[in-house]
Structure 1
Amino acid sequence: MSSSSVLYDLLVILLLSVGVTLLFNRIKLPSIIGFLVTGMLAGPYALALVKAPHKVDHIAELGVMLLMFTIGLEFSVRSLMRIKRAVFLGGTLQVGLTVGVVAVLAMAAGSAPGPAVFWGFLLALSSTAIVLKLMQEHMEVESMHGQIVLAILIFQDLVVVPMMLLVPLLSGQGGDSSWMALGIMLTKMLVVLTLVVLGSRYLMPRLLLLVVRTRSRELFLLTIIGTCLGVAWLTELAGLSMALGAFLAGLIISESEYSYEAVSNVLPFREIFASFFFVSIGMLFDVHVLLEHPGQILLITLGVMVLKALLTPAATAFLYMPVREVLLAALALCQVGEFSFVLSRVGVKAGLISADEYQIFLAISVLTMCFTPLVSMVAEPAVAWVMGRPLLQRLEQRLHPTKTPAPLLPLATPEPPLADHLIVVGYGLNGRNLVRAARAMKLPYIILEADADKVHRGLKRGERIVYGDVTHEHVLEHLGVARARVVMLAISDPAASLRAVATIRRLNPEVCIVVRTLYLHERKQLYQVGATEVISEEQETSMEVLAHVLARFLVPVCEIDRLIDELRHGSHAMRRHRALDQAAWSRLHLRFVESELATVPVEADPGAHFVGKSCLHSDVQERFGLSVLAIRRDGHLLEPLGQDTLICLHDTLYVFGKPEQVTRLAHEVQPAEV
């Protein structure tokens, strides 16, 4: 097939995907369904727009690999070890129960034992790609039910290989050699897992440290992608799936401090290639089969989803999880998986299912995948309604009457996520000083640094430091920028600072962004893209030099301060209304939900009628609905503050209340700004 025809196929898929996905977004349906529908329309059973579907399959395999790779990057070997009992106990029970029940139902319908068990194999597997993509979008991977789902999906991916080796036995074509091959395969799997643990602990951290020291993004990306493809190729040589190899490659890199930067580099490629995977699944679907037997196929589809949703809670009962989490996990695993397609092709060759049964299976499988995003949208309210039923409440009480047994799935995270914290970007002199101050004041903070050596030294000192690029959204999300109070940018790249400020402001419109820049002319653009404060080293250095020089000529300190203030806010610099001088400090406001803590200075003339009155009789409470929490006088807080404490001129009142009431009070006690 010529390269032009492949390019034509890719162009058709991309253009059709854009149109269909736009339509589905307009009607509030997930993009995954749009990709599946795109494949149905472009495939050989509908409009036949794609001339070389096998080429699309190769691209789709790469998409599954990258999806599994990023899942492995965001997981870790420690996390896998933490849920190892859930993987093997919960996974074994879920797959075993599904295979057994489906086999019994198939034999009751007249199927032979071999094909009946094979149908159990096909329906026992769930879609790792779809389920984990949806859970990543909803940020549920680290939840309790997300960990149950992940454990079972890992086992399902591992058990595909023994299932494929058992196909000759089920079809009556195998003998002792098949059992020997199964034993060899299990041995290979153990060897591969051992190599993954050793590589993640000893090899990859050292290799990646050498790579990131070069400061070459190209080399870093090549190393990451090369590791993914290399481990996937090795697992394929061992007879395992390439997708499993990509997941293991992600696990290897996840143990290093560079995993978040790796995810940021791979994410754009993953989204593109993963979309081709869902399109390729849709291309397998023969619409004519659905049109010929619509009622039968829809009934079987719903039956399969209900059956899997009922068997999963039974399989996870021994994990001692809350009923709500088990039900959410059951709804997440109710579809048929992508590896079932690979297994079904092997079954057709072995004669376990006919060509007509194969098409019916494809129709059922694709429909379950199409329904999965819809099920995920209604899962939470549906489970909440079910948990409100008296029967489920009694079941929960019976399972966990007073004391819950120790769960087999330890899900507690090592530490809670940061909130209302400081993010320090850049671990140079400014960053280190700020970190020392934050540590002394016991403020929560996290550091982001793009220099591998600084990250390495920081980790040795026990700092909470992450390697990554501040312009990458995924890295910022990991730092908790949406929950941060202040972000301090202390980097020397003006272009990166501009992109970072714009991204941070989009992720958190309320956060305070303080930027250190080298030159004065860079401030205007930074303010325009959303910076709260921009501190120019060029200007601040000149002010410090001016102060020292004038002091040598015995110029009074007050006069030096006046000159600096004029230069800072006058025609020699861009006027800043947020300069952190004494006046700005005395007007500092901290926002809370529908309220704020504010400092209001009592100035001359406008605030004269407050002077000499006590806190009780100053009308601050009655007229403005504000509480006076403290009074600062001559640089010191008055202690203790009582109802008889008098308000004096030039005091600063610390008040708490609604923002509009604070504004009213400020207008009465402060002179109007010119």
Structure 2
Amino acid sequence: MLAAGVAAVPVFKKIGLGSVLGYLAAGLAIGPFGLGFFADPQAIIHVAELGVVMFLFIIGLEMQPSRLWGMRKDIFGLGAIQVMGAMAALTCIGLSFGFPLIPSFVAGTGFVLTSTAIVMQMLQERGTMSTLKGQRIIAILLFEDLAIVPLLAIVVLLGTGGAATDTSDRWLSVGIAIGATVALVLAGRYLLNPLFRVLAASGAREVMTAAALLVVLGSALAMQVSGLSMAMGAFLAGVLLSESSFRHQLEADIEPFRGILLGLFFLGVGMAIDLSVIAANWQLVVASVVGYMIAKILIIYLVARVLGTCHAESLERAVLMAQGGEFAFVLYAAAVSAGIFDGEDNAILTATIIISMVLTPLMVILHDRVVPKQQPSTEGLTLPENVEGTVLMIGFGRFGQIVSQPLLARGYTLSLIDKDAEFVRDAAEFGFKVYYGDGSRIDILHAAGAATAKAILICVDDKEAAVKIAQIVHEEFPLVPLLARAYDRGHAIDLIHAGVDYQIRETFESATVFSRETLKVLGEDEDLAIEVVEEFRDVDRERLALETVGGIYAGRQLVRGNAQPADLVAARTARERAAAEEERERREREQQEEAG
């Protein structure tokens, strides 16, 4: 299994299909209908579901109770409306195929439960988990996790044995679930922190890791035994520990297990694709996949739009959540036990869920390529128009803000432009007048006062954009001094070629000061530490000049005719270091003689 994942995932990532699809394909390849290394993929899925459990524990660690309370409207409002609407629509799909009401309801309800593993993984890969739209999706997933409990109870009631079930037993189950939740909350609040404090004091690193796994698996097992989902138990444990001083340590301990087990979960899903069932019922399977996914996409999109979400976010959410999820397997198994489905029905529905999970990464890729990127809203923003300032600063992020302070202190006027609309709004709240504009557009530069400025500063954190702006400014305003922020040495060389008068690597000065202080901490004389750092500055300037004027910069290799400037510089550095060492020894001898 590890070999299949290691072989497939990098290939799929390289061609832009994502890691989830790579794991699914690898699972299909080594499963019963591929090379046949495994005969019981369901057993693999049950074990690998621990990856989903650990994933939700880590998500819980990021969700402080106050933050979760702030999401309550999305969880119980947006989540409830989307789930109820999708249940009604997907039930209608089953009825349209000619199936009875109860099987149609249970089949559609299973498809409503989105794959937490796939959506969370894709949110993480897209870097949108901490964004507002990502938080709304997480809120919906949390409500679906909560919904699995009453849905399982409904399946039991709707089954052939549902009428005979004792009411007292059902209330007992509810009481056990509530009691387990309260017990977990109390344990997390009053026991876990003292426990980790004692373990940390012991100094045994492996015991801390074992304790982290015990907390995750123990809370998950407690919830499962009480009739709730394992994922919800792990998430709740994470939330309870989110404000603990051990939060980061727990996250670091769990992360390796989470990643590997989540990969195994996707491999198990790939193995579970029953090609014989699909082949025997391919028309029904295809129709179910298409009908369920289209209906779910439409409902998610419509609910989002009705609740005021923009078109782009609504469509993205609908595509991400269009599939069925791993909880459907649990619901369908309960339906078989209750007599609602037979074995063949379960196999068809399981295949439908798995195919929808396989199609989701492809749909997301298609969405990203077809749908144009959303342009930032400029409503309420001021565009530059006949602005005049002593200095024009392009980009007003963390670097530009520091640069601006001494200039403002000396009374210089700044014309500030930035193309991040949200940042421009935020800057206004702190009293900064920042104009919205793209520094690579000549009309924006003219409107921002580039022609009359005494200096133009490029402080953007985008390397390619900085070079482009430098080229345009140098061509359009050649007499105005141009200073730029560089990312690294290669970027600095590109900026020099683009025509800047001065550039500095953004971490260069802080790194040299840090190095000087390190020398002092190590016992070097302060004057010598300053001298060594200044020597390095001289060598760096010489090296940069060689690379810029006559060299061909290619990664880390520099070639200039038959000469090797890098070697020359290294030799000079060694000679100067030796000379400095001799000078230091001479001073020490003189001091000893004076003391003697």
Query: C-alpha displacement at 1:154, in angstroms?
Result: 0.8
Q: How does 1:570-609 map to 2 (within 5 A)?
A: 577-578=535-536
Counterpart residue identity of residue 543, structure 1: D
Partner of 2:359: 371
Q: How does 1:303-314 map to 2 (within 5 A)?
A: 303-314=291-302
Partner of 1:543: 525
Partner of 1:97: 85
Partner of 2:45: 57
Partner of 1:289: 277
Query: C-alpha displacement at 1:21, in angstroms?
Result: 2.4
Q: Secondary structure at the match of 2:35?
A: coil
Rate the CA distance shift 1:132–1:210 in 2: closer, same or farther, 3 A: same
Contact 2:79 2:143 in 1 (8 A): yes
Structure with more relative contact order (C-alpha pairs < 8 Å, separation 6 or more) = 2
Query: C-alpha displacement at 1:169, in angstroms?
Result: 2.0
Partner of 2:66: 78
Partner of 1:240: 228
Q: Tell whether 2:214 aligns with 1:226.
A: yes
**Structure 1 Cα separation of the partners of residues 278 and 507 of structure 2:** 52
**Structure 2 Cα separation of the partners of residues 248 and 345 of structure 1:** 25
Q: Tell whether 2:117 aligns with 1:142.
A: no
Contact 1:123 1:336 in 2 (8 A): yes
Deviations 1:574-594 (A, max 9, x none): x86346xxx99xx9xxxxxxx
Q: Secondary structure at the match of 2:11?
A: helix
**Structure 1 Cα separation of the partners of residues 90 and 521 of structure 2:** 75
Q: How does 1:103-142 map to 2 (within 5 A)?
A: 103-142=91-130
**Structure 2 Cα separation of the partners of residues 213 and 146 of structure 1:** 38
1:204 is aligned, of 192, 195, 218, to 192
**Structure 2 Cα separation of the partners of residues 207 and 514 of structure 1:** 41
Sequence identity percentage: 28
Query: C-alpha displacement at 1:511, in angstroms?
Result: 3.9
Q: Tell whether 2:201 aligns with 1:174.
A: no
Aligned pair count?
426
Contact 2:289 2:352 in 1 (8 A): yes
Contact 2:160 2:339 in 1 (8 A): no
Counterpart residue identity of residue 577, structure 1: E
Q: Pairwise CA RMSD of aligned residues? A: 3.9
Unaligned segments of structure 1, at least 5 residues: 1-12, 389-395, 401-417, 423-482, 484-504, 516-526, 545-560, 570-574, 588-672
Rate the CA distance shift 1:565–1:160 in 2: closer, same or farther, 3 A: closer
Rate the CA distance shift 1:109–1:293 in 2: closer, same or farther, 3 A: closer
Partner of 2:480: none
Unaligned segments of structure 2, at least 5 residues: 380-396, 402-460, 462-488, 490-504, 542-572, 577-596
Partner of 1:37: 25
Normalising by structure 2, what TM-score? 0.63
Counterpart residue identity of residue 289, structure 2: T
Contact 1:145 1:328 in 2 (8 A): no
| Greater percentage in helix | 2
Deviations 1:86-109 (A, max 9, x none): 212222222222222222332343
Counterpart residue identity of residue 255, structure 2: L
Partner of 1:350: 338
**Structure 1 Cα separation of the partners of residues 345 and 26 of structure 2:** 24
List 4+ stretches of structure 1 deviating above 6 A: none
**Structure 1 Cα separation of the partners of residues 263 and 6 of structure 2:** 11
Q: Tell whether 2:239 aligns with 1:251.
A: yes
Q: Tell whether 2:268 aligns with 1:280.
A: yes
**Structure 2 Cα separation of the partners of residues 421 and 193 of structure 1:** 50
Contact 2:223 2:229 in 1 (8 A): yes
**Structure 2 Cα separation of the partners of residues 98 and 32 of structure 1:** 25
Q: Secondary structure at the match of 1:310?
A: helix
**Structure 1 Cα separation of the partners of residues 529 and 100 of structure 2:** 91
Query: C-alpha displacement at 1:260, in angstroms?
Result: 2.5
Deviations 1:283-310 (A, max 9, x none): 2111233345555533432322221111
**Structure 1 Cα separation of the partners of residues 40 and 324 of structure 2:** 26
**Structure 1 Cα separation of the partners of residues 518 and 138 of structure 2:** 48
Deviations 1:24-83 (A, max 9, x none): 234221121121122222222333211554552343132222222222223332222111
Deviations 1:545-592 (A, max 9, x none): xxxxxxxxxxxxxxxx6xx479x54xxxxx86346xxx99xx9xxxxx
Q: How does 1:492-503 map to 2 (within 5 A)?
A: none
Q: Tell whether 2:515 aligns with 1:533.
A: yes
